[in-house]
Amino acid sequence: MARRDPYEVLGVARDAEPGAIKKAYRKLARQLHPDVNPGDAVAEERFKQVSEAYAVLSDEDKRKNYDEFGEVSLEGGFDPEAARRARDAFGARFGGASGGPGPGGFENFFGGGPNHGREEIHFEGDLEDLIARMMGRSQPSGPRRGADLEAELELDLAEAALGCERRLTLA
C-alpha cells in the first residue's frame, strides 16, 4: 500500500505548528487506537498511518526532508545531501525548470506536492542520449541507431495463425 501524505493523514496544513500537529495526532490516535476498536482492521490500519504520519511530522529533520523531497525521503537509507547533489546536477544538465521538475521544486518530481509525482519531463532523443547528457557528454559514444520504419502487411487468418514467410524490400 502506498504511503499517504502525512499532512493529509493528520488533517493539518503544511505550515502547521508542532503543537497543532501533536494535538491532531492525539485526537486521531485516541479515536483509532486498537484498544478502543478491538477487531476493527480498518481502524487499526488508520492508526498505523496516523502513527507513521506523526513520526514524520514530529521529527524536525524528517519533516524538512519530506517537505523538500516528498515520499522518497521516507525510504530507508535516504541521504538528503546526495539527493540535493543529484537535484543540482540534474538542474545544471537539463536547464533547471525548463528540463527539471518545474515550479514547486524537487518534491513535486518525486511524489510530494500537489502533482503527486505526475510532473512530466519532455526530452527529444533516446535513452542513450539522456544518459550521455547526464554523464556530461554532448554526444553518445558509438554508432547511433537508425530511425524506426513502419510498413503494412496484409495476412489472412491462416497465415497469421500458422505462420508464413514474406519478403519485404526496404528502400
Which tens digit of pLDDT belongs to each residue from 129-151? 666 666 665 554 566 677 777 87
On the question of pLDDT at 97 being above 80, the answer is no
Percent of the chain with pLDDT over 70: 66
Q: Cα–Cα–Cα angle for 20, 1, 19, nearest 5°?
A: 5
**How far is it, in rounded angstroms, from Cα 104 to Cα 115?**
9
Cβ atoms of residues 122 and 130 within 8 Å: no
Integer Cα distance of 39 and 45 in angstroms: 11
> What is the pLDDT at residue 59?
95
DSSP code of residue 171: -
H helix intervals, 80-126: 80-94, 106-109
Could you give the CA distance from residue 55 to residue 79 in angstroms, rounded to a whole number? 18
pLDDT of residue 69: 87
Structure confidence at residue 169 as a pLDDT band (50, 70, 90): confident
Q: How far apart are CA 87 and CA 101, in angstroms?
A: 9
Averaged confidence pLDDT in the chain: 78
CB atoms within 10 A of CB 78: 13
Instruction: Name which of 17-26, 54-63, 84-93 the model is least confident about.
Output: 84-93
Domains along the chain with CATH numbers: 6-58 (1.10.287.110), 79-134 (no CATH)
pLDDT digits (tens, 9 = 90+) for 22-70: 999 999 999 999 999 999 999 999 999 999 999 999 999 999 999 998 8
What value does the mean pLDDT take over residues 150-170?
84
Q: Over range 80-94, report the average pLDDT.
A: 79
Q: Measuring CA to CA, which residue among 84, 4, 115 is closest to residue 50?
A: 4
Question: Percent of the chain, pLDDT > 90?
Answer: 37
Q: CA–CA separation, 73 vs 51, rounded Å?
A: 17
Cα 94-108-11 angle, rounded to 5 deg: 170
pLDDT at 41: 95
Per-residue confidence (pLDDT) for residue 40, from 0 to 100: 95
